[in-house]
Each structure stands twice: as C-alpha cells, then as structure tokens.
A and B are shown apart, each in its own frame.
Chain A
Amino acid sequence: MGRAGGPAAPPWHSLPDEVWEHAFSFLPADADRGAAACACHGWLRAERRSRRRLVVPNCYATDPRDAVDRFPSVRAAEVKGKPHFADFGLLPPSWGAYAAPWVAAAADGWPLLEELSFKRMFVTDECLEMIASSFRNFQVLRLNSCEGFTTAGLAAITEGCRNLKELDLQENYIDDCSSHWLSNFPECYTSLEALNFSCLHGEVNFTVLERLVSRCRNLKTLKLNNAIPLDNVASLLRKAPQIIELGTGKFSADYHPDLFAKVEAAFAGCTSLRRLSGTWDAVPDYLPAFYCVCEGLTSLNLSYATVQGPELIKFISRCKNLLQLWVMDLIEDHGLSVVASSCSKLQELRVFPSDPFGHNGGQVFLTERGLVDVSASCPKLESVLYFCSRMTNEALVMIAKNRPNFTCFRLALLEPRSPDYITRQPLDAGFSAIVESCKGLRRLSMSGLLTDLVFKSIGAHADRLEMLSLAFAGDSDLGLNDILSGCKSLKKLEIRDCPFGDKALLANAAKLETMRSLWMNSCSLTVGGCRLLALKMPHLTVEIINDPGETCPVESLPFDSPVEKLYVYRTLAGPRSDTPDCVQIV
C-alpha cells in the first residue's frame, strides 16, 4: 500500500510481480504464503496468481468457485470432505461432501490442472468423466476413502487422460461394473508411474495388466488387489524390476517349492524396492521369499497380514532400515522387542488389532510392554498408533521420558474407560507426562479412564497440538473448558461419549473460529446451546446431525432437547445447501 505523501517509497515497491512470485516460491508452507498475502495488495496479487498447489482441508469452508477465482493458476488441488469420525461409522452416509461442485469449478477455472486429490468425499462417475474431458494435461488422480463411483468412471479416466502418470485409489468403496477400465489405457500409452487399485474387489484382466506394466518403463508404484494370485505377482515383478513401491495381491497359496522359487527370484530382481504393503492373508511359508529385499525396505505395511509367530518376527528383524512399520497385534510384545533391537531407524509404528471386538476370544499377547520397548530403543520414533488391551501410568511415563520427540501419539485401548490395570487409577498421570514431555506433539488420541485432571495438563502444555481425539473421557465441562481455553494451536477437536455440555462451548465460542472444526457425539449438548452458539458466531456453521430417518425439525424442539451429534466448522461460504434431511444447520 503506497503511503499518501511522505518520503519516496522504497525501491522494492516498484519491483514487478514476477519477482515477488519467484520469491514466494521459496516459502515452504501455504501458511507462510497466506501470511505474505496479508502484507499488502501487491503481495496479495503476486501470491495468489502464483499459487500452484492448493489444499482445502474442509470442502465446506469455502465455495469452490471462490477458491478457483482467488487462485487462478493452481496446478494441483487437494480437497477433503467428511470429518475423521466418519471412518468409524459415526456419520450418516448421505451427509454430503460432494466432489461435483469442485470438479465443475475446476473444469471452468483451472484448465491447466494436473493433479486432483479427494479424501472422504462423494465422487460420482460423472465427476470422473468430467475430469477426463476437462484437463488436457491431467496427470495425477488420488481418491482416498471416497465412494459414489464405479469402475465405469475409472474407465473414463484411463481412456481420456492421455498424460496420466498416477492413479491412486486408496480404501475407496468402488462398485465393480466389470467395466474394462484397465483395458482402456491405449496401446501407445506408456507414461504410467504409479497405479494403486488395492481397494478394488473384482478381477482384472491379467494379460492387459501385464502388457501395461511391460510397456510403462517408468512405473515406480504398483499396488495390486487381492484378486491377483501370488503366481501372477511374481510374473509382474519380472516385468517391472525397477519398482520402488509394491502392494502385493493375495499372498497366500499352498506351499510349492516351484512357486516359492519363482517368487523368490522375482523379488531378487527388484533391487530398488523400498516400500512393501498388501500381503493379504500372508502365510509364513512364503515370507522367506522376501528376504532378499528386506535390507532395502524403508516402509513395511503388514497390517492386513494375519500371520504370526517366528516367521513374521524373523522377517521383520531383517529389515534393518525400516522407517515405517505397520503391523497387526499378532506381532505381540516379543515381536516388538525384536523390532526395537533390529529397526533402529524406525520413525513411525502402527499396531492394529486383529480381533477388535473380542470375537475370537483368543488372547493376543500385546501389552504396554511392546510400546515401552520400541520407545526405549528407537531414537527416531516420532509417530505411534497403538491398539492394545491394557496400559499403566508407569509405562506412559517411561515412554514420555524416552521419547520427547513424539509428534503424533495415538493410543486406543480396546475397552472404553480402562484404568491403569495395576493400580486401577485413571491414566491422567501417564498422558500428562506425554504432553509435558513431548513439546512438539501435534496429534494426540487418548483412551482409557481419564478425569478432568488430564485436560488441565493438556490445556496448559500442549502448545503445538493441532488435533485431539477424545473418547469416554472426563467428568465435566471443566475438562472441555481447559482444552478450549488452552491448546494454542488446536485446529481439529473430535470428541465422543464425554460428559461435556454447552457451557464450555459457549464460554469458548471465539476459539472455535480459530479452529478448522469440532466434532462431538454422545455428549451432553442441547439444541438450545447449539442455537446460542450459532447466534453468537455467524462465521461458524453449526450442524446438528441425527440418525437417518429422524428428521424432527430443530425449531420445534425444546431448548434442552439433547443433541446426539454436532459438527461445527468455520466457513466463508455461509450455510451449505446440500444437507440431507437428517442434518440441520442452526
């Protein structure tokens, strides 16, 4: 902004926009670019015109057309829809998060768009057809946890996107229309670098796949679905030894020495293989076929492999350079202690439950000890997701002391409100130790028996915390108040089954506008409280969500009617107009 009168403006005021655009390209984070854009109109103009990558973490935070208008030169866009708890069945299926308006706006305003990612959104075949026909240089499509489309939509992509480099389908619900989407890649097409169809259930034409893999010499990532038998996986690897990331298909077969030798030889040729996943129903007999690639692996996802015992442990212990390990709790404490001593470079550990609902009744010997061992011996460990059945304060305190460098700590005790199993005390002391010690903690999920005390610690110490997940915790509104009045960096808060009510929300209403979103279900909220919140904060959308089929209009309900599910988020776009009957915006 030029100053009226006064001394002559400094010389850098007259620098052309291109110089600023070039300068901004060195800013690492979008937040930095956003801050620069606030300095003056000139910088705003230069920044928004040169923004190439846009992330919209809440698709309802803005109208898609406004986003496209503001950043006209975007080449790569990522949009996320439903709140995280939708993953656990807590959101009605018709809630929203439609990709169509985003695709339409992009088709209009970003003809040069190259990359598009959607997460937890409703994507239709029409969207995919529009993507295929609107962007002449479209290269990367990533769909994660989406639904609403079929293999016919995929066929439109594979046929229409001549420059496609990456098709990444992760954990989507895709209807198989037996459309030959894979065959739609033209014979002359060779630019594929990454293909992930692990979430597809149907068979694919193996000959077509084999030919595709053979002619795409730049293929680096290949993640197959579990309809592809072991034999064929080996054949594919022969054709693509340059592969860096592999998701195997079904990794079980009756043991045959010939097949074993074939698989082993195929893997021996893959000297660049660094990331391995898939391994559905892996059987121990074939794990040794992987031995030759263990040394080079940096990422191993065995979280769908229901294999246990010495073969599993032997295999993992050979992977000395692992940075990232995802396993089932079948690895047990003993296995994790081997991981602790073998994988000294480990940065991320995720341990998933093999029997989350206790149906198999079998005892899995994974306890707090496994996590203590890994935390003690892996100096680079910074991210943990751990499902287990028991925990103690002492273990958590030890973990906190050993690993102050945690950035993400998520503990899910299988039984709600589980106390310290030795002292029978709440786990307040343990989690307090975590937040006090881990100053860089950005994400925390807590479980077990917790009182309001732990929230005092969190509010006071968790300065860098951006995302907090709570379940079956706390005693009163004081708990929620401590969180909302502290936690300076909090962006996302998701709460279920905690005795928190309207008071804390209303007292900290302004805080909610500094956050991306708040989710609460099965707490002690009332319709009246939510209405007051909405009145107080016009830039927030306050959604009351009922079960599908329950459409009692909120206006007719008394003040103290309970609210089962609440989703609050800040938005520039005002209340959305695509809500189903079970969602009401107050």
Chain B
Amino acid sequence: MSVETERSSTESSAASGLDFEDTALTLRLPGSDPDRKRASTSDPDCPSPTAAAADSPPSPKAQVVGWPPVRAFRKNALAASASARTKFVKVAVDGAPYLRKVDLAAFAGYTTTSAAAYDQLLAALQDKFISHFTVRKLGNEEMKLVDAVSGTEYVPTYEDKDGDWMLVGDVPWRMFVETCQRIRLMKSSEAVNLAPRAAR
C-alpha cells in the first residue's frame, strides 16, 4: 500500500504518457517497457527551458519529481482514464476466416501529414492482414487495399451507430471514431451500392 504511493508518483508519469506503443496489445504492463525514457529525479540546477518553448507544442521533457503539484490520487485517476480511452472495433475481411480488432483511438486520423500520404488506418489494417494485402495508391488519392495474390480490390467500409454501412473516409475523423461500430473490408465489386462518396 505504502509502496504504491511512491511508485505511483514516479511511474504514473510513464503510465499516463500513453502513446501508440502502449496501446499495442502486448503482455507487458503499461509503462513497464524498459526501453522507454523514465522520470528523472529533480535537478535543482536545471536551467529553465528556453523562451521558445512557451508557444510551440510541448515536447516530452525530462520530468521533475512532484511537479506540477498533482496529487498521486489524481495522477492515477488521469492515467486510468487515459488507458480507458480506447475504441476497439472488429475488422472483418470478406473471405478471411477470422476477424481482427483495431483501436481507432490510437490513430490521429485517416492520413498522416507526411508527404507520403500514408493512410494510417489502412496501413494498420495492412499490418493485421499482412499475408493478404498491399496498399495501392491510385491516381485520385483514393486508397484501396489490394490482395497481392488475386488482385482483388477491397474497399474499407464501416457500420455506424444507426446500423448503416458507410464508406470509410467521408466524415471527419473524430465523428468516424465516435460512430464506427465495426469495419468490413468489402470486395470492390460488392461496394458499388454504398452511399455515394462526397466530392473531395
């Protein structure tokens, strides 16, 4: 009990700093990855951060024990609710024998801002079904999953809260995460009857 108090103040910082690595399903406890940076003890001579840091997005900084002065109880509650913010949905692929699950909350959006225009969600789906697909980028920026062997195209679709099957990519990302109940990678040939895609 008393050990928990001390542990919480130094480790919860790592635990609350959940990023993609932490939400990946492994058998490790969250925050116990030995490779990650840990909270350092306070250094009284540490110079104050430069002025430039004030307005730019905060980068992960070396942590000072006990600052900001947030009680351990609150820190633990924040960490617990951060880890609760997941949204795992089932992913079914036409023709595959079993389903997978993907955590939508772990992604920032459909695409990254990098020049490669790499679709995060679809890339993750590619990861899961690695024996099946490659991601083919078509001329009009649309992303399709293509089975490397048979050449079949798959279109990502999802079931929303009303039970309707929609094409992935139409609504803003946050709304998509809110409303998506499950994902189905539908064979392109069957996808023609879905709601028309809004003009990009």
A→B interface (CB under 8 Å): 85, 87-90, 92-94, 122, 145, 147-149, 171, 173-175, 199, 280-281, 303-304, 306, 352-354, 356-361, 363, 387, 389-390, 412, 414-419, 421, 424, 445, 449, 469, 471-472, 496-497, 499, 522-523, 548
**Candidate in B16, B66, B75 with the most chain A CB atoms within 10 angstroms:** B66
Cross-interface CB contact of B42 among A93, A358, A522, cutoff 8 Å? A522
Contact yes or no, A171 B73, CB < 8 A: yes
In the assembled complex, which residues on chain B have CB atoms less than 8 Å from the CB atom of A497? 42, 44, 64
Contact yes or no, B68 A353, CB < 8 A: yes
Verify if B48 is at the interface (C-beta below 8 Å from A). yes
1/0 per residue, CB under 8 A from A, across B40-80: the answer is 00101010110101110111110111111111111101100
In the assembled complex, which residues on chain A have CB atoms less than 8 Å from the CB atom of B16? 357, 359
Verify if B18 is at the interface (C-beta below 8 Å from A). yes
Q: In the complex, which residue of chain B has the Cβ closest to the Cβ of A410?
A: B69
Contact yes or no, A421 B54, CB < 8 A: yes
Cross-interface CB contact of A359 among B3, B17, B46, B84, cutoff 8 Å? B17
Cross-interface CB contact of A358 among B5, B48, B58, cutoff 8 Å? B58
In the assembled complex, which residues on chain B have CB atoms less than 8 Å from the CB atom of A122? 2
Verify if B162 is at the interface (C-beta below 8 Å from A). no
Contact yes or no, A353 B70, CB < 8 A: yes
Those of B1-43 within 8 Å (CB) of chain A: 1-6, 8-10, 13, 16-19, 42
Once A359-B18, A449-B48 are accepted as A-B contacts, the answer to whether A280 and B81 lie under 8 Å apart by CB is: yes
In the assembled complex, which residues on chain A have CB atoms less than 8 Å from the CB atom of B64? 416, 497
Contact yes or no, A93 B6, CB < 8 A: yes
- Cα–Cα, bound, A353→B75 (Å): 10
In the assembled complex, which residues on chain A have CB atoms less than 8 Å from the CB atom of B48? 415-419, 449, 472
How many pairs of A and B residues are in contact by the CB < 8 Å rule? 127
Contact yes or no, B71 A359, CB < 8 A: no
In the assembled complex, which residues on chain A have CB atoms less than 8 Å from the CB atom of B54? 389-390, 415, 418, 421
Contact yes or no, A87 B72, CB < 8 A: yes
Once A357-B17, A415-B53, A418-B54 are accepted as A-B contacts, the answer to whether A304 and B77 lie under 8 Å apart by CB is: yes
Interface size class of B (residues with CB under 8 A): 35 or more
- Cα–Cα, bound, A122→B1 (Å): 10
Contact yes or no, A89 B9, CB < 8 A: yes
Contact yes or no, B68 A414, CB < 8 A: yes
- Cα–Cα, bound, A289→B85 (Å): 22
Once A148-B1, A424-B51, A496-B66 are accepted as A-B contacts, the answer to whether A88 and B71 lie under 8 Å apart by CB is: yes
- Cα–Cα, bound, A389→B58 (Å): 10
Can you report 10 residue pairs joining A to B where beta carbons are below 8 Å apart? A92-B6, A145-B73, A171-B71, A173-B4, A175-B1, A354-B78, A356-B78, A357-B17, A357-B63, A415-B54
Q: How far is the CB of A408 from chain B (nearest CB, A)?
A: 15
The list of the 3 closest CB pairs from A to B, nearest first, reads A89-B9, A359-B17, A88-B66
Contact yes or no, B1 A419, CB < 8 A: no
- Cα–Cα, bound, A93→B2 (Å): 5
Q: In the complex, which residue of chain A has the Cβ closest to the Cβ of B53?
A: A415
Q: How far is the CB of A10 from chain B (nearest CB, A)?
A: 54
Cross-interface CB contact of B72 among A89, A352, A522, cutoff 8 Å? A89
Q: In the complex, which residue of chain B has the Cβ closest to the Cβ of A92?
A: B6
Once A92-B6, A419-B51, A424-B51 are accepted as A-B contacts, the answer to whether A363 and B66 lie under 8 Å apart by CB is: no
- Cα–Cα, bound, A128→B71 (Å): 25
Once A357-B13, A387-B68, A412-B68 are accepted as A-B contacts, the answer to whether A352 and B74 lie under 8 Å apart by CB is: yes
- Cα–Cα, bound, A306→B74 (Å): 12
In the assembled complex, which residues on chain A have CB atoms less than 8 Å from the CB atom of B17? 357, 359
Cross-interface CB contact of A148 among B2, B9, B74, B84, cutoff 8 Å? B2
Contact yes or no, B73 A199, CB < 8 A: yes
1/0 per residue, CB under 8 A from A, across B84-118: the answer is 11000000000000000000000000000000000
In the assembled complex, which residues on chain A have CB atoms less than 8 Å from the CB atom of B42? 496-497, 522
Cross-interface CB contact of A280 among B3, B55, B77, cutoff 8 Å? B77
In the assembled complex, which residues on chain A have CB atoms less than 8 Å from the CB atom of B44? 497, 499, 522-523
- Cα–Cα, bound, A123→B44 (Å): 34
Once A361-B58, A497-B42 are accepted as A-B contacts, the answer to whether A89 and B10 lie under 8 Å apart by CB is: yes
Cross-interface CB contact of A93 among B5, B59, B60, cutoff 8 Å? B5
In the assembled complex, which residues on chain A have CB atoms less than 8 Å from the CB atom of B49? 415, 417
Q: In the complex, which residue of chain B has the Cβ closest to the Cβ of A387?
A: B68
- Cα–Cα, bound, A478→B9 (Å): 32
Q: How far is the CB of B198 from chain A (nearest CB, A)?
A: 24
- Cα–Cα, bound, A546→B153 (Å): 65
- Cα–Cα, bound, A306→B71 (Å): 17
- Cα–Cα, bound, A421→B5 (Å): 35
- Cα–Cα, bound, A548→B6 (Å): 11
- Cα–Cα, bound, A436→B82 (Å): 41
Contact yes or no, A88 B58, CB < 8 A: no
